[in-house]
Amino acid sequence: MSTMTIADRRAIMTTSMLEPDFRALLRRDPRLAIERVTGRAAPGGTRIAVIEEQADAWEFVIPADAIDAELPSPNDARSVIENDVYELLRLEPMVRSRVVGYPKAFLADRLKVDIGDTSVNVREEKAGEILLILPYADSREELNDNALDLVAGGGDPGSQSANWEAQKEGTQHES
């Protein structure tokens, strides 16, 4: 396995949400879990970390390799948001510093929603490592119609500027 695709990551996360035995395997032996879902072994020497989300946090990984040219179809609210951010990062690489530096303010502005007390943590994968998110067990929720419309519409990569600047003033660095 030379790279872990977004589709591979999603398949692992979805399987971990649906199958408690697989979730336990992912915690215990992530290499075996990866191979069971993808059919490919992770390369030896690759560091694999499983990041468990908490109820009050959302974890987001920016892959070390280039973001897939064709993102997998989203199957839940999280996937819609991730695809939107990945596409934006691919089109506007300079946005990365905002996503990494002020993830909560960035995401709140991008979605045009109040995220409340939920923290947003962006993890940048490094070469030679695979970061996998183990979603909080009750986190598969639907976006409200307004937020889904905004994300599905794609928006303008520059649309974050005014609101994002105001929001970052009151938001700590959360990565």
Per-residue pLDDT, 67: 79
94 token code pair: 């300079």
Q: Tokens 């987001």 sit at which residue?
A: 60
User: Structural domains in the chain?
Assistant: 6-169 (3.90.330)
Tell me what the mean pLDDT of segment 9-20 comes to: 93
- Count CB atoms within 10 A of the CB of residue 130: 24
Say yes or no to pLDDT of 163 above 70: no
Tell me what the mean pLDDT of segment 9-31 comes to: 94
Residue 107 identity (one-letter amino acid):
L
- Count CB atoms within 10 A of the CB of residue 62: 17
158 token code pair: 């520059």
3 state DSSP class of 127:
coil
Residue 82 identity (one-letter amino acid):
E
Per-residue pLDDT, 3: 74
Say yes or no to pLDDT of 170 above 50: no
Average pLDDT, the chain: 81
Tell me what the mean pLDDT of segment 60-81 comes to: 85
CA distance linking residue 129 with residue 143, whole number of Å: 31
Query: What's the CA angle centered on 100, arms 18 and 154, to 5 degrees?
Result: 70
Tell me what the mean pLDDT of segment 125-153 comes to: 67
Separate counts of helices (H) and strands (E) for the chain: 8, 4
Does pTM top 0.85 for this prediction?
no
Say yes or no to pLDDT of 150 above 60: no
Per-residue pLDDT, 149: 52
